[in-house]
Structure 1
Amino acid sequence: MKIDSSIFQDLVKFYGEAFHLPPLSAKIYAYLIFDFERKGICFDQFVEIFHASKSSVSSNLQHLLTSNLIKDFTPIDSRKRYFVINPNYIKIRFEEIMRKMASEIEILDKLHHFQNSDDENYNEKFEIYKSLLNKNIENIQETLTKF
């Protein structure tokens, strides 16, 4: 498999932050992105590639599986498990973004109700911000239905 180390490092950093992944999980996830043909990478390859202990690789793969970021399969003619990016990763990522925005709207509504401000400027800005969050949720939802 061909890997560009600069892009790999960018992916590790980005997905580590985006999904709050531990460093080895982020590296495994980033590495799997380069498996464009989705043939899968086996456990032993990860141990060899990342020079990590079997237990570290195992726990990080389990974390990625539990998070639904990757899938595993065992070919009929093999005893090894192979790992690939979950084909629904885009949906998972954007559903999480929508969930966070919806949660923020709920909290802001409670705060706004608690504050009960008569300041029209503040109320207008609050409504603009809330509208922006709602529109983003709608846009993401619409896009996901197209997938």
Structure 2
Amino acid sequence: MNRSIEIDEKIFQDAVKFYGTIFNIPPLASKIYAYLIFDFEKAGIPFDEFVEVFSASKSSVSTSISWLLNAELITDHNKMDERKRYFFINDGYKKIRFEKIVQKMKDELKLIDDLNNFRKVHDEDDNAKMEIYKSLLNRNIKNIQESLNKL
């Protein structure tokens, strides 16, 4: 089986590294994800192609695909006339990624407030800097949420 898509090796390697770091995913899952990015026609990539292209065991590919499906980074479907499953990049991944970023910032704001309320001694200089930081977090949350609403 040949590749069903054309890839650029340099861009592919950069994508593997980038998405592996950003999504904190295992190496083979990162390769599968990066490979799917090159499916510009959205034809889908069958399981067997991953096994062959990456010279990986079916078990390893299956584990990586399950991880990506559970993380909602990819989707799959079966064509009516075939038993094969085809895999695709989840078009909503950008929204999912930034929703997680917003949630982390909100969690950090809550933690900052909880720590400040627990604190016995208050330093005005430290409080002023923390308010600036909280303001930055709030502005970024608002900005990202407005952009997400446009997606």
CA shift for structure 1 position 88: 0.4
The Cα of 1:85 is off from its aligned counterpart by 0.4
Q: Aligned-residue CA RMSD in angstroms?
A: 1.0
> In percent, how many aligned pairs have the same letter?
59
Give the structure 2 partner of residue 100 of structure 1.
104
CA–CA distance in structure 1, aligned partners of residues 79 and 114 of structure 2: 52
Q: Secondary structure at the match of 1:38?
A: coil
Moved more, 55-64 or 106-115: 106-115
Tell me the TM-score normalised to structure 1 length: 0.96
Query: Which moved further from structure 2: 130-139 or 115-124?
Result: 115-124
Report the Cα distance in structure 2 between the residues aligned to 1:134 and 1:55, rounded to whole angstroms. 44
Q: How far has the Cα of 1:101 moved from its partner?
A: 0.8
Alpha-carbon contact 1:33-1:85 (below 8 Å) kept: yes
Residue in 2 that maps onto 1:119: 123
1:16–1:23: 8 Å Cα contact kept in structure 2?
yes
1:132 paired to 2:125: no
Moved over 3 A (4+): none
Give the secondary structure class of the aligned counterpart of 1:87: coil
Of residues 65, 68, 78, the one that matches 1:64 is: 68
Amino acid at match of 1:28: I
Distance in 2, matches of 1:108 and 1:100, equals: 12
Structure 2 unaligned spans of 5+: none
* SS of equivalent residue, structure 2 residue 75: strand
Partner Cα separation in structure 2 for residue 109 and residue 118 of structure 1: 13
Q: Which residue of 1 aligns with 2:8?
A: 4
What TM-score does the superposition give when structure 2 sets the normalisation length? 0.93
Q: How many residues align?
A: 147
CA drift at 1:116:
4.4
